[in-house]
């Protein structure tokens, strides 16, 4: 690890931010990358205060009488992963929901449709086959590189030739299912969310993602946040709304972010009811 990277990590983890009282309920963290993906959620918090940790923002409050933290992760894989570490280390969440907009990869999905992420998939790590100078590049020939495979396994472990896939938490998925009747702007389906630091507008490439990896939508945060949550054994779910779809001509609509936030509030409400029921039973 270089000195620059070490300094960066030290800077992140030495920035102080107040943590919740140790004897209180553990909060639910809800993530969004951009301001339009969090501002409506923030407006639904009661008694909200904001913590600044480096370049990240965490709004603390309650929703339906339960502690909820809205996290603006910033865009991209690295930012989402760092924000997830910070959220877990500072606030000890009982669960994390990553939500926001995404591009559709399936012709059957339309703008305002929502995907409950039964899994999330890393679409940003590939190994290219050798091509001589002047032979160009053929992205459809690239093979996935699973960075969660064992150390030193890139050359011979079959797992290293698959995409990294992270399962959604079943109780959170169940809460999302129970919230479906409250959403009337489009259909709510279940499937895989793909994540990478790329914006793909090549129809053959997104068709490959859909066919080979089962991804219904693509965006830039969910899989990295899911990977970190898994390392900390923190329940996690990704929820994404289709804001545009290159496979069927669906034009971008920024208002989709608000519709997604409205649905996520219902998911949180359903999940909170489960937590309260479990507390009463204990």
Supply the pLDDT for residue 19: 53
Residues forming beta bridges with residue 70, ordered by sequence position: 30, 59
Give the pLDDT confidence of 67-116 residue by residue, as tens digits. 999 999 999 999 999 999 999 999 999 999 999 999 999 999 999 999 99
For residue 42, give every residue at least 6 positions away whose Cβ sits within 8 Å of its Cβ, in sequence order, or none.
48, 59, 70
Which residue from 87, 101, 137 is spatially nearest to 222, judged by alpha carbons?
A: 101
More confidently predicted of 278 and 119 = 119
The model's pTM is 0.89
pLDDT at 125 over 90: no
Query: Tell me, what's the pLDDT at 162?
Result: 86
pLDDT at 277: 74
Contact 229, 235 (CB under 8 A): yes
pLDDT attached to residue 41? 98
- pLDDT tens track for 142-193: 888 888 877 766 556 677 778 899 999 999 999 999 999 999 999 999 999 9
Cα 190 to Cα 183: distance, rounded to the nearest angstrom: 14
- Phi, then psi, of 40 in degrees rounded to 5: -75, -35
Least confident of 21-30, 173-182, 240-249: 21-30
Q: Does the pLDDT value for residue 2 go beyond 50?
A: no
In the chain, % of residues over pLDDT 70: 88
Per the prediction, the chain carries an average pLDDT of: 90
Residue 16 has pLDDT above 90, yes or no: no
Quote the distance between the C-alpha of residue 201 and its chain's center. Answer: 21
**Least reliable range by pLDDT among 51-55, 147-151, 190-194, 248-252:** 147-151
* Interval 118-138 mean pLDDT: 93
* Cα–Cα distance measured from residue 210 to residue 187, given in angstroms and rounded to the nearest whole number: 19
Per-residue pLDDT at 144: 86
Pick the CATH number of 25-129+140-281 from 3.40.920.10, 2.70.98.10, 3.40.50.150, 3.40.50.1580: 3.40.50.1580
Strands (E), the chain: 28-32, 46-53, 56-63, 66-72, 95-104, 114-122, 126-127, 143-144, 165-167, 188-195, 215-219, 236-245
Note the pLDDT of residue 156: 64
Check: CB of residue 21 under 8 Å from CB of residue 67. no
What does the pLDDT average to over 16-20?
Answer: 50
Q: What angle do helix axes 77-91 and 222-231 make, rounded to 10 degrees?
A: 40
């Amino acid at each position: 690890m270089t000195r620059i990277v070490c300094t960066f990590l030290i800077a992140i983890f030495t920035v102080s931010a107040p943590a919740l009282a140790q004897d209180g309920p553990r909060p639910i963290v809800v993530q969004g990358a951009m301001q339009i993906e969090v501002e409506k959620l923030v407006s639904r918090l009661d008694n909200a205060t904001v913590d600044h940790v480096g370049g990240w923002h965490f709004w603390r409050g309650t929703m339906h009488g339960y502690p909820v933290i809205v996290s603006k992760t910033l865009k991209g894989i690295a930012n989402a992963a760092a924000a997830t570490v910070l959220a877990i280390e500072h606030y000890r969440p009982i669960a994390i929901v990553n939500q926001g907009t995404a591009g559709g990869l399936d012709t059957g999905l339309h703008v305002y449709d929502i995907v409950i992420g039964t899994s999330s998939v890393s679409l940003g790590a590939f190994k290219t086959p050798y091509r001589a100078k002047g032979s160009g590049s053929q992205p459809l020939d690239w093979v996935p590189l699973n960075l969660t495979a064992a150390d030193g396994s890139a050359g011979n472990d079959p797992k290293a030739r698959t995409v990294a896939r992270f399962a959604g938490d079943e109780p959170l998925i169940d809460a999302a299912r129970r919230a479906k009747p409250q959403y009337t702007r489009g259909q709510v389906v279940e499937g895989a969310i793909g994540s990478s630091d790329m914006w793909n507008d090549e129809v053959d490439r997104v068709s490959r993602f859909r066919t080979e990896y089962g991804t219904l939508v693509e965006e830039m945060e969910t899989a990295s946040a899911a990977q970190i949550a898994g390392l900390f054994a923190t329940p996690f779910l990704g929820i994404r709304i289709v804001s545009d779809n290159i496979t069927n001509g669906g034009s971008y609509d920024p208002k989709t972010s608000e519709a997604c936030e409205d649905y996520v509030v219902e998911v949180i409400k359903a999940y909170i009811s489960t937590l309260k029921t479990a507390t009463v039973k204990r």
